[in-house]
């Protein structure tokens, strides 16, 4: 069996529930630890990251090892891409070494889907441009389900740089499929023209009565100079503060995919406040979610 994992847009509620159940089964409750298996000991996962990463790359590697897999990590800056080799030729060369899956992150939207059409092994999208980051959405959903028990009717505010956020796009698909009411907010210049959820101008209107507040990183590397707000102005209008969080439900959870710009999109103390913040849990769930995805693409 070979399946790709490229997007959350084509996942059914049943797919999502099944992936979340599998991910949950890999967690050891209350611990930063996982149930390990050697079920995929014959397999090899290659990670091809053309953009920087801490969480996604290392959690794919950890997830693969937890399933008994071997891993190969391409160091792009020390690879033959520096001699002009293309992404496709690089992926084909790695596939020819007998890998069973490639997890790819690339700055171009659509790169993971393009490679999936060209190579024989499974391809997992580890983030493509401003398009999708489906494993992030899965780990976010796992974290929400652990705290809220489900999704139906939950009010989820996604705040910040929506336009450049593959995290927002994947989350919006997944969470609306599961019955959540998602609302997005951010500066007008950072809101997309093609949103499928309500957009509101004022952060306060998004956060009011929210069950979940999901903050996003300002992605300066994807912005034009006209779009880049000053950090002070941005924090004043769209930063998550204790004051703004008072508008949400009392048991609200605060999420951020990381890496964070503390003091720009979120008050640093609030990000570390375990009464609200589930940011560290998101990272732990990232390993479990990626274990579930690897198991799924290989027919588990």
Task: Provide the binding-site residues for ligand CP, judged by CB under 6 A.
Answer: 53-56, 127, 136, 257-259
What region does 294 belong to: left with phi over 0, alpha with psi -120 to 50, or beta? alpha
45 or 200: whose CB is closer to ligand CP? 45
Pick the closer one to ligand CP by CB: 178 or 214. Answer: 214
Residue 236 phi/psi, 5-degree rounding, is: -60, -40
Minimum CB distance to ligand CP smaller for 127 or for 239: 127
Query: In the complex with ligand CP, which residue's Cβ is closer, 258 or 263?
Result: 258
d(CA 217, CA 97): 36
Rounded CA gap, 253 and 89, in Å? 44
Least spacing, CB of residue 208 vs ligand CP, in Å = 27
Closest distance of CB 144 from ligand CP, Å: 16
Of the pair 107, 118, the CB lying nearest ligand CP is at 107
CB of 165 to ligand CP, least distance (A): 11
CB of 58 to ligand CP, least distance (A): 8
> Could you tell me the sign of the dihedral formed by the alpha carbons of 160, 165, 167, 173, in that order?
positive
CA–CA distance, 284 with 78 (Å, rounded to integer)? 30
65 neighbors 107 (Cβ within 8 angstroms) = no
Evaluate whether 55 touches 258 at the Cβ level (below 8 Å): yes
C-beta of 127: minimal distance to ligand CP in Å? 6
CB of 246 to ligand CP, least distance (A): 27
Distance CA 248, CA 216 (A): 17
Task: Give the span between the Cα atoms of 25 and 83, in whole angstroms.
Answer: 44
By beta-carbon proximity to ligand CP, the closer residue of 168 and 178 is 168
Q: What is the Cα–Cα distance from 176 to 186, expressed in whole angstroms?
A: 19
111-118 vs 87-95: helix crossing angle, rounded to 10 = 50
Instruction: Report in angstroms how near the CB of residue 299 gets to ligand CP at its nearest.
Output: 26
Q: Are 112 and 88 in contact (CB under 8 A)?
A: no
Closer CB to ligand CP, 130 or 136, in the complex = 136
């Amino acid at each position: 069996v070979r399946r790709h994992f490229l997007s959350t847009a084509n996942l059914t509620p049943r797919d999502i529930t099944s992936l979340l159940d599998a991910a949950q089964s890999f967690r050891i409750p209350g611990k930063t630890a996982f149930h390990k298996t050697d079920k995929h000991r014959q397999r090899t996962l290659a990670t091809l990251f053309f953009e920087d990463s801490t969480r996604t790359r290392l959690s794919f590697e950890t997830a693969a090892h937890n399933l008994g897999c071997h891993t190969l990590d391409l160091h792009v800056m020390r690879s033959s891409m520096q001699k002009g080799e293309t992404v496709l030729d690089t992926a084909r060369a790695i596939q020819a070494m007998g890998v069973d899956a490639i997890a790819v992150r690339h700055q171009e939207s659509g790169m993971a889907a393009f490679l999936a059409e060209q190579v024989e092994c499974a391809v997992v999208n580890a983030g493509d441009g401003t398009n999708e980051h489906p494993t992030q959405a899965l780990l976010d959903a796992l974290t929400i389900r652990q705290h809220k028990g489900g999704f139906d009717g939950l009010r989820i505010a996604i705040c910040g740089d929506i336009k450049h956020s593959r995290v927002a796009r994947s989350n919006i698909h997944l969470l609306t499929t599961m019955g959540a009411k998602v609302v997005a907010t951010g500066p007008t210049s950072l809101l997309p023209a093609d949103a499928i959820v309500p957009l509101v101008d004022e952060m306060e209107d998004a956060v009011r009565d929210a069950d979940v507040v999901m903050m996003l990183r300002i992605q300066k590397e994807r912005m034009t100079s006209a779009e880049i707000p000053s950090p002070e102005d941005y924090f004043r209008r769209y930063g998550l503060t204790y004051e703004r969080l008072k508008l949400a439900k009392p048991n609200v959870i605060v999420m951020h995919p990381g890496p964070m710009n503390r003091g720009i999109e979120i008050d640093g103390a609030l990000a570390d406040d375990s009464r609200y913040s589930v940011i560290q849990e998101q990272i732990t769930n990232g390993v479990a979610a990626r274990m579930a995805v690897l198991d799924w693409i290989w027919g588990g």
